Amino acid sequence: MSEADAQSIKDTVHACPSGALSIKPVVEETEVKVIADSGLPPKVFVSKNGPLRIKEACHVILPDGTVVEKPNGVSLCRCGGSSEKPFCDGAHKVNGFVG
C-alpha cells in the first residue's frame, strides 16, 4: 500500500466486496491563537460532545492574521461540522459528534 497512489487505494477500498475496508477522510487542522484579555493564559473548558469554551474576554487570531474580539468569551468547534470554523455554530447538536 505504501507504493500505491491515492486513486488506486480508493478504487481498492470501494471494490471491497465485504465492505470491511473503509476510508477515513483527513480533516485539516487549522491553528488559531486565543489570547485572554487579562494577559493570563485563557482557561479552556471542554464541553461534553460539544465545543471548546473560553468564558472570558479574549481575542482570536485566525490563520490569515485577522483578529476577532470576543468580549464575552468564545466557543470553538471540535466536531468539524461548523460552517463558521473555527467558531462553533451548534453543528455538533445535529451531526452526532461524540467527544
Domain membership of residue 83 (yes or no) is yes
Domain membership of residue 11 (yes or no) is no
Domain membership of residue 4 (yes or no) is no
Output the CA torsion sign for 41, 42, 45, 46.
negative
Domain membership of residue 52 (yes or no) is yes
Owning domain of residue 50 = 26-93
Domain membership of residue 40 (yes or no) is yes
Domain membership of residue 76 (yes or no) is yes
Domain membership of residue 9 (yes or no) is no
8 A C-beta contact, residue 92 and residue 81 = yes
Provide the residue-wise pLDDT of the chain in tens; the chain has 99 residues: 667 787 888 888 888 888 888 776 555 667 889 999 998 889 999 999 999 999 999 999 998 999 999 999 999 999 999 999 999 999 999 998 998
Number of domains in the chain: 1
8 A C-beta contact, residue 13 and residue 21 = yes
Q: What is the pLDDT of residue 24?
A: 65
Residue partners of 74: CB distance under 8 A and separation at least 6: 34, 53, 54, 58, 60, 87
Domain membership of residue 30 (yes or no) is yes
